Amino acid sequence: MLKGIDISHWQANLDIASTGAEFVICKATQGTTFVDPSCDRHYQIAKRLGLKLGVYHYASGGDPIAEADFFVRNIQGYIGEAILILDWEKTQNSRFHEHASWCIKWLNRVKELTGVKPLIYTSASVIHEANWSSVVAGDYGLWVAGWPDNRDSWDIPKFLWDVSPWPFYALWQYTSSGGRLDRDVFMGDRTAWDKYAARNGSTPGPSPSPSPAPARKSNEDLATEVIRGDWGNGQDRKNRLTAAGYDYGAVQSIVNQRLAGSSGASTANNCSAVYYTVKKGDTLWAIAQRYGTTYQEIARLSGIANPNLIYPGQRVRVK
């Protein structure tokens, strides 16, 4: 067995190393608009500590395919090394009553896109509120929540619940430590964890993408206009480009490249501004550590809406 924790932005400042966890499961997304701002920082810290990894999506009851697509778009760097999980709870879930009929669509879509079979997280009581046979038939494993008490320790209590139609549970969340920290146990070793996280041999489908937008000005054309002064400066520029439906970060990156050439630092609109060119394997959190700042500040300065999504060759403003 492995002992671990599941965390989100509510534990933003948690010292993961001090918890004694052997795995960490991070909240990644919710619905089709929310990306947990602490996900990548938590993930990268746990990875450096050599812990096993998982990421989950909190269902909001929207279109299950759209929610699955949103989740996959935001976890590209984790696929193949993290267990993928659907969090199925009543709170903030407008279609909770649909249970398996909603969940199977999400689970199948994530499997189609990633080649990984996700787990489903839900409480022991919910298991007996619906017919989950389709989910079990799809070979989607169970992470069950059941708290016999609110102990704040790694002392594992006796399991008291019937999880049928699942033949067994893969993970058990056995306490919330009185609201301080969710503690879990994985019913296998590190090799078993890797098997749950691995692609299952099927060929993943293409990464989901938003519906194509109407033809608009290219980022290159917009960069020319920005340099000419048509879109203002600073926050005003960002607000105007965003309101017009354009990707401020992409446009600003082109502006920075034109004004700064190939140097590592530039003075676009600010003589003290410092820029960094993203390399393969970089994360905003790691870049921020290198420059003595925060990933939130880099995202703000660079107009990056999702701090989990950066790509090699992208120029970001670090100061």
* Structural domain includes residue 203: no
| Under 8 Å between Cβ of 26 and 44 | no
* Structural domain includes residue 262: yes
Asked whether residue 185 falls in the same domain as residue 238, the answer is no
Mean pLDDT in runs of 10 for the chain (319 residues)?
94 92 96 92 94 96 94 93 96 91 96 95 92 93 94 93 93 92 94 91 46 60 76 74 79 79 41 76 79 82 78 82
Q: What is the pLDDT of residue 214?
A: 40
> Whole-model pTM above 0.75?
no
* Structural domain includes residue 235: yes
Domains in the chain, number: 2
Residue 97 structure tokens: 């009553």
Asked whether residue 106 falls in the same domain as residue 53, the answer is yes
Between CA 198 and CA 144 the distance in angstroms is 21
Q: What is the pLDDT of residue 268?
A: 40
Q: The domain that contains 274 carries what CATH number? A: 3.10.350.10
Asked whether residue 148 falls in the same domain as residue 60, the answer is yes
Q: What is the pLDDT of residue 220?
A: 84
Q: The domain that contains 188 carries what CATH number? A: 3.20.20.80
Q: What is the pLDDT of residue 261?
A: 53
Residue 166 structure tokens: 């699942």
Asked whether residue 28 falls in the same domain as residue 156, the answer is yes
Asked whether residue 27 falls in the same domain as residue 172, the answer is yes
Asked whether residue 238 falls in the same domain as residue 110, the answer is no
* Structural domain includes residue 296: yes
* Structural domain includes residue 294: yes
Long-range pairs, 290-296, Cβ under 8 A, ≥24: 291/318, 291/319, 293/318, 293/319, 295/40, 295/41, 296/37
Q: What is the pLDDT of residue 240?
A: 75
Asked whether residue 86 falls in the same domain as residue 124, the answer is yes
* Structural domain includes residue 137: yes
- The domain in which residue 253 lies consists of 219-317
Asked whether residue 224 falls in the same domain as residue 287, the answer is yes
